[in-house]
Structure 1
Amino acid sequence: MIEDNTEAEKGPDTPEDAAPAPLLTLRDGLPPVTDTDEGLVKAAAAIAAGTGPVGIDAERASGYRYSNRAYLIQLRREGSGIWLIDPIELTTMDPLIEALDGTEWILHAATQDLPCLSDLGLHPSALFDTELAGRLLGYPRVGLGTLVETVLGFTMLKEHSAADWSTRPLPDAWLEYAALDVEVLVELRDALAAELVAQGKDAWARQEFDWLRGFEAPVRTDAWRRTSGMHRVRGRRGLAAVRELWTERDRIAQQRDVTPSRIIPDAAIVAAAHELPQDKAALLGLKGFHGRGAERYATSWVKAINRALTMDEDELPVRSPRAEGPPPPRAWADKDPAAARRLALARESVNALAEARNLPAENLLTPDFLRRAMWTPPKTRDPGALLDGIIEILSGFGARGWQIALTAPLLTDAVLHADLES
């Protein structure tokens, strides 16, 4: 789903008293929703008969459902118009998979939608990400609505971005909002592609888009450690209670396909882990223990707390597990002053180059890649061998060729100059 909270933002050159851009509307009206296998065959045939790239978007029910599944897919292609596909009732996506084979997809913020499309068997042969293109071009705001207004001159209303897309039937107002997200994706893609060529960044963009084709959502380990307010919990038993309560909530949420915070909020987990009540009455009497599932699943919460209270010491979690990679940059000066100097010089050089090339520094080189390379650079100080070593390191992290070509020499110089200052 395209999420954009920037509809009120103005472009850098927009006068305060300028007339508002015309509102984007559907040129062909609102199409019906395709929610049968027979209808999908018709939709796929129309899309296959179209020409050029295909604008695609997907709507999920984030904040309402546990799963990341797509509850609506919107597609637009020249010559075929807009199609709204409801995948929930379909038994197969094969006709659409076949129709899209060999086409270029246009998505905005592709990493949001690619996982749920992949779950349906939909994988791009080629890809153009309008959000990423906007970043590479140096646009300060790259939400879809802002780019459409800045580049194409239309205003987009973003009224239903937080809607529960698992609702059936979907209201027409929501469907129109969803359809508008692909209405001008082809035009936006063409305009941004021309700008990429003009700025000499089209080869960079192709490498980025090729990388995105293989994108998979990262799997978070120890996700329970992201519980909001967990820092207020005392001791390893308390941490164990957070973990057990979070895990139980996650199990219930997955079973019911409801977002976990709708069972009980993080604040309730923290409140229970702080006090460690051992029976239902004490648990429900806690100030701060609330939520739709607080009383309904009270027995489960008590069992989770008791598991934490009775587990062996060696099973208890620690406050800060040993992390892979370098320590936080603020600690570098104490732990390794030479590494701190390398990092400072490398950051300065990368930031300066990013400014000169009119793109965000994090798109020029992922900050984590930079930190890791400067914490443990190659041991050699022969300039050529050092450059080769840094190239190998960045490549191993997953940096793209264009990023390596621009930044590896800068990182090499940072290592050499930091040593001279020692």
Structure 2
Amino acid sequence: MTEYSVISDTEEFLAACAALVAGSGPVAVDVERASGFRYSQRAYLVQVFRRDSGVFLFDPPAIGDMGALQTAIGDVEWVLHAASQDLPSLRELHLEPRTIFDTELAARLLGHDRVGLAAVVEDTLGITLKKEHSAADWSTRPLPAAWLEYAALDVLHLVDVRDALVAELEEQGKTDFAAQEFAATLARTPKAPREDPWRRLSGLHQVRGARNLAVARALWEAREMYAQQQDISPGRLVPDRSLVAAVLANPASKQALAGIKEFQGRASRTQLDRWWQAIVDGRAAEQLPRERVPSDTLPPPRAWSDRNPEADARLKAARPAVEAVAEELGMPTENLLTPDYLRRVCWDSPGTTAAEIGDALAALGARPWQIEQTAQKIADAFVEAAQAPDTTSPTAS
């Protein structure tokens, strides 16, 4: 049985923070959300472990202001697993680390075959964790004892895992690689909201015509507003496929909407007036959405030979060169260099020297260590592609 303290009132909270201040070394931090159940991505439990302090399970909705915890551990290195997933929820609570160690990212750089938390704990420490509650509704109160035990184990071993990975990184000469990746994760700004978030509707590609797209938009917006009001995940109210089915069925009345078999979900009938009004509003909308949206997304590589043969040749030469470096370093290619960065420099052709390609990669967001490992290889591949005979020319033999 794991020893832990559940913290849900101010007195307990301040005592736990004092205990953490008296602890030693880095702190392990984890967050449990209610993804798929609630509208928000707020943290419903924050787990913290520090040597000589113990494991504390903080209940943010009950505590409220978490400032004392930030004061207690804000200057200490935080150990997280898949930090990019937890940092937004922590920042919403005004919990902000100055430095981090990401055990998942470190495992990727080290070439571990499995990088989930349970797998990394088992590979480094030989301890088996059960992950049966990872997708639970953590907004549930009171939280079951089995869930709390699971949450405590998520941080109990994380500092030991960190120490094992630090040694591996040193042994493989990747300490600086990891430091740059951790700093980039911490500095990464949230993506700007999409201009038309309703276009994320799964199955929207089936909808034809601007008027029908306006109906889809109105249904999505109505569901989004209600989901936010109720703090329930939109898909639990009415799934995407049901909204699209309603658009495609083009019902003539509210009763006809209710009769659509595919229009399902816990709020599909209880909020029928809401959905019907959305359909009416969409049909009457004066500003219709564009059927085709301009995008700076590159075409899929399979289309490059027709759209941009020179870029196609560059990519076909550069991609195996980068893959070879990744294999030599013993890490996934996507951790050596983001695939989209490689595709963009191949498409745009910023130059044929390592310096020119390095500048282009840096502008895209590549880290110095990634540029150092790949820029020259890409430059050599570009030269090779330029010198290769043009097999697409009618005169080529």
TM-score in terms of structure 1 length: 0.89
**Which of 49, 59, 62 is residue 86 of structure 1 equivalent to?**
59
The 5 Å alignment of 1:170-319 reads 170-221=143-194, 222-312=196-286, 315-318=288-291
Shift of 1:186: 0.6
One-letter identity of the residue aligned with 1:376: D
Distance across 2 between alignment mates of 1:187 and 1:91: 30
One-letter identity of the residue aligned with 1:274: L
Deviations for 1:193-240, whole angstroms, at most 9, x for unmatched residues?
100000000110000011111234434513322222222223232222
The match for 1:13 is: none
Residues 1:394 and 2:361 aligned together: yes
**Which of 370, 373, 378 is residue 403 of structure 1 equivalent to?**
370
**Which of 320, 338, 346 is residue 366 of structure 1 equivalent to?**
338
The answer to whether the Cα contact below 8 Å between 2:20 and 2:53 also exists between their aligned partners in 1 is yes
The match for 2:347 is: 375
The 5 Å alignment of 1:52-63 reads 52-63=25-36
Q: Secondary structure at the match of 1:251?
A: helix
**Which moved further from structure 2: 234-243 or 289-298?**
234-243
Distance across 2 between alignment mates of 1:32 and 1:217: 33
The 5 Å alignment of 1:102-117 reads 102-117=75-90
Deviations for 1:74-131, whole angstroms, at most 9, x for unmatched residues?
0000110101100102231111010112100000011111000011111111100000
Deviations for 1:148-175, whole angstroms, at most 9, x for unmatched residues?
1111111111121111100111111110
The match for 1:416 is: 383
One-letter identity of the residue aligned with 1:175: L
The answer to whether the Cα contact below 8 Å between 2:211 and 2:288 also exists between their aligned partners in 1 is no
The answer to whether the Cα contact below 8 Å between 2:26 and 2:79 also exists between their aligned partners in 1 is yes
**Which of 119, 130, 135 is residue 162 of structure 1 equivalent to?**
135
The answer to whether the Cα contact below 8 Å between 1:37 and 1:92 also exists between their aligned partners in 2 is no
Residues 1:43 and 2:43 aligned together: no
One-letter identity of the residue aligned with 2:261: K
Distance across 2 between alignment mates of 1:308 and 1:317: 14
Displaced runs of 4 or more, over 4 A: none
The answer to whether the Cα contact below 8 Å between 2:311 and 2:349 also exists between their aligned partners in 1 is no
Shift of 1:325: 4.0
**Which of 70, 77, 87 is residue 43 of structure 2 equivalent to?**
70
One-letter identity of the residue aligned with 2:230: R
Deviations for 1:12-60, whole angstroms, at most 9, x for unmatched residues?
xxxxxxxxxxxxx52xx2x231111222111111111111000000100
**Which moved further from structure 2: 57-66 or 221-230?**
221-230
Identity of paired residues, percent?
Answer: 49
**Which moved further from structure 2: 325-334 or 216-225?**
216-225
Shift of 1:306: 2.0
Q: Secondary structure at the match of 2:31?
A: strand
Distance across 2 between alignment mates of 1:343 and 1:40: 55
The answer to whether the Cα contact below 8 Å between 1:137 and 1:358 also exists between their aligned partners in 2 is yes
The match for 1:350 is: 322
TM-score in terms of structure 2 length: 0.94
Give the number of aligned pairs: 388
Show structure 2 runs of 5+ residues with no match.
Answer: 391-397
Distance across 1 between alignment mates of 2:383 and 2:358: 15
One-letter identity of the residue aligned with 1:394: L
The answer to whether the Cα contact below 8 Å between 2:210 and 2:288 also exists between their aligned partners in 1 is no
Q: CA RMSD for the aligned pairs?
A: 1.4
The match for 2:102 is: 129
Distance across 1 between alignment mates of 2:225 and 2:112: 42
**Which moved further from structure 2: 216-225 or 138-147?**
216-225
One-letter identity of the residue aligned with 2:240: D
The match for 2:123 is: 150
Distance across 1 between alignment mates of 2:193 and 2:322: 29
Distance across 2 between alignment mates of 1:103 and 1:335: 51
The match for 1:14 is: none
One-letter identity of the residue aligned with 2:7: T
